[in-house]
Amino acid sequence: MITLRQATLEERPAIADLTLDAYAEYADEMGEESWLRYARSTRELILTDPSLLRMVAVEDDDIVGSVVYCPPYEKDFGAQRIKNPYPEMRLLSIVPRHRNKGIADKLINACEQKAAQENSAAITLHTTRLMAVAKAMYERRGYQRFSEIDFHLAPDVVVLGYVKKLDNGANHDAS
């Protein structure tokens, strides 16, 4: 049985390893320099960022999936300044042998529910064209392009912003 819970401080290195293992399939297409920069920043974010909520999916005491939930932010991505007025789901990762078991849906649902509980009108995420399976999954779930939060990971790698309006009675514009 899969259970979801907030990750402990001690589990952060395992979450970072799981995430980078899950995303390593894109390393060749990203190029070595971009991948190394991405891996370094991802590990640092998971290990140290105090503003994040890290959730894990656990089966028989083993972490089989994780996701990071971020509050709204304004920050620099290279030369770009991005202002995201909504919470964001990041770095959804599932252990490969546990994929296609509904774990990703459970983690996404948890992030969407948290955003709704916070009275947010929407939740966002980022993905790339390289992540075609994930991109299609998000679009099936009602996520739409939100180019206002796009940024470049490398000159030829655009990280695409997506938003999903939440039906929670919030009186904000999420378009």
Q: Which residue has the higher pLDDT, 10 or 167?
A: 10
Residue 142 above 90 pLDDT? yes
Q: pLDDT at position 172, please?
A: 47
Mean pLDDT estimate for the chain: 91
* Alpha helices by DSSP H, the chain: 12-23, 27-30, 32-48, 103-117, 132-140
pTM of the model: 0.90
- Per-residue pLDDT band for 76 (boundaries 50, 70, 90) equals confident
- Per-residue pLDDT band for 148 (boundaries 50, 70, 90) equals very high
* 113-122 residue pLDDT tens: 999 999 999 9
Residue 101 above 90 pLDDT? yes
Cβ(94)–Cβ(137) under 8 Å? Answer: no
* 23-55 residue pLDDT tens: 998 888 888 888 898 899 999 999 999 999 999
- Per-residue pLDDT band for 168 (boundaries 50, 70, 90) equals low
Query: What CA–CA distance (Å, rounded) separates 74 from 41?
Result: 17
Which domains are delineated in the chain? 2-120 (3.40.630.30)
- Per-residue pLDDT band for 157 (boundaries 50, 70, 90) equals confident
Enclosing H/E stretch for 123: strand 122-127
